[in-house]
Structure 1
Amino acid sequence: MTRTQDARKFYARLMAANAGSADPRLEEIFAEVPREAFLGPGPWTIIAGKSRITTPSDDPVHVYQNVLVALDADKGINNGEPFLHAMWIGKLAPRPGESVTHIGAGTGYYTALLARLVSPGLVTAFELEGGLAALARKNLEAYGNATVIHGDAVTTSLPPSDIIYVNAGVAVPPLQWLKALAPGGRLVFPWRPAERVGFAVLVTRTANGFACDPFMGSWFIPCSGASVAGPTAKIPSRQRAARSRSIWLTADRPSDRTATAIFDDIWFSSRGLVTRPGN
């Protein structure tokens, strides 16, 4: 085993342990997919708080830690925090054969992990930045079940999806994202309806509606076209946002006193979904 393989194997154990997932494949996939292949040539710029630190060399062992690696430092784009993504992926529990839409794919590292976990299922990755989309397309050539689209996932219709994985902060998820979820489908996204409100939210489409779980704090760069709420929106405080347990389409059900946040097409409620007999 090489030094890099040894570092990647230990990194994978850390990712799986932090995720708390019962799926042994999670550790296997983190050990299999080479992170350095998605970062460009080293040395690399590591983001630490408000500082930027350059790795001492282009030795890949430097990136097998829970560190943010800059992809475009001037635009604030990085490769993402591995611990966070391991937790998100573990919570989503991707299964072989499922279809995934990845929004904000960057250069494709987490797309590759998802592609391995759902194979032979398909992954459709959207990336708005042209340069990053081109790199992702090249980096994912070895992953035959992954397709990269240079486009806007807010205005483009999404394919039917078992999982929608969003890596850009939104004030409110577009209605079409919810409608693209298959029965039992899961959507995870960084919810940022206000400057001081930031949660990772897991939405599950059930027979009774959309269950909602704000499960951890989360901050991402804004999602173009979906990062600002409309002027009539009811913006929640952090405390109210944390109490959200379901999401409703306004066309199906008008907002009521349980509303924690109200937007044009959807609203969030503190009421959990009621399980009906036989469901």
Structure 2
Amino acid sequence: MEETMRARNRVLATVAVTATGLAALTTMTATRPSADNPPTGWRFESSLGAQVAVPAYWEVNDSGCGMTARPSVVRGKGLQTLCYTREPATKELAIIREAPEQSSPKQGSPTTIDGVPAQRDEMRLADGRYAGWISVPSRHVTLDVRTRNPQTTDWILHSFRLVDVDHLGCPTRPPNTTGPPPRAGFVPADPARISVCYYAGTDRLQASAEITGDEAHRLVGMINAAPPGRNPDRPARSCDARTDRPDPDAMLRVTTTTVRIRFSSCTRRGLDNGAATAQVTNDLVRTMMAPVHAGYSLSGDLPG
């Protein structure tokens, strides 16, 4: 009788463990990052028409020269200091990068991302990290992930999406039009938030960020106080206008107003809200670019 009871208890314990395991698995699956909402403690990042979810505490662009051991998402780094810093074996990374058109695509298992053919693979690195990647050759974009936890790697890879407009409202391709201008001022004076869309003068979004609170009010104050008209073109002796591209360096989305900004070119520098133009300053660019965490160039003769 006693042996029968012990056997019954072992069966019940096994059932309980199995049920607990299933509940944990169900919870993990249910809270994976989705295309619309990251789970609590995660955030979206985007670049090059791709969007992923990463843990909210991760740094931005902490890689390459002078990198620390802190985890980081890497996207749209722009201009950067060149030196060699060894990547720590414990460092966790999610890197959205451009795959050159002429390069051979990575070879992995065929899959699709939002209906677009892609390649994917996962592996365990010699240093113990769990790595994986997704490549979308037709979009010239690749995601590389290295973390210390297989679930973290899986969640980041699972969250990878192709987008025409990212989570902050930044279009992958900079539009030629800016939408309706405000009724008063260059931009609305009391925005809840400002979306910064950074293109670096290219035809694809490199990175996006959000400005809120006092910094948002400070930025719109600078924009609305900017002198009317574009900045003067730089002299031909100091800047070759043939290198200028038609695309903006950045766009700001302030409520319903979109402002195109050029600050690194030789010509057509300044702010454009679709109805009027105004001059751009060094201080305005620094305030706008601070949350983007990307390197950028400034024309040397910008005021302020």
Report the structure, 1 or 2, having the larger helix content: 1
Q: TM-score, normalised by structure 1?
A: 0.28
Question: Which has the bigger relative contact order, CA under 8 A and spacing at least 6?
Answer: 2
Q: TM-score, normalised by structure 2?
A: 0.27
Larger radius of gyration: 2
